[in-house]
Amino acid sequence: MKYYFITYQAKNRQGSISIWNQVIKDSPMKFIKDVSDIEKRGSDTYRNFVVINTCEISEDEFNEYEDKF
C-alpha cells in the first residue's frame, strides 16, 4: 500500500481559496474526486478541488501524522 502527504485547494462560493494538508492511503486523484463528490452531496460550500502537491510517505509517517492536519 502507498501513503501520501497531499496538499489540495478549493474555492468557496464567495471565490476565496482554501488550502488543506492531509495524509492519505488512497491515490491522490481518487482522494480529490471523493472529497469533491462528498462536498457536492453535503454542504456544497467548496468547488473546483485541485491537487497542488503530493509526496509519497512511509507507513510509519502516515501513522504518526494521521488526523493531525
Q: For 1-69, where are the E strands, in sequence order? A: 3-12, 17-24, 46-57
Give residue 21's pLDDT: 97
Give residue 69's pLDDT: 81
Give residue 54's pLDDT: 97
In what side-by-side order are the strands of the sheet with 17-24? 17-24, 3-12, 46-57
Q: Hey, what's the cell of 24?
A: 492519505
Residue-wise pLDDT tens digits, 14-69: 999 999 999 999 899 999 999 999 999 999 999 999 999 999 999 999 999 999 98
d(CA 25, CA 18): 22
Question: CB under 8 Å to 13, separation ≥6 — which residues?
Answer: 45, 47
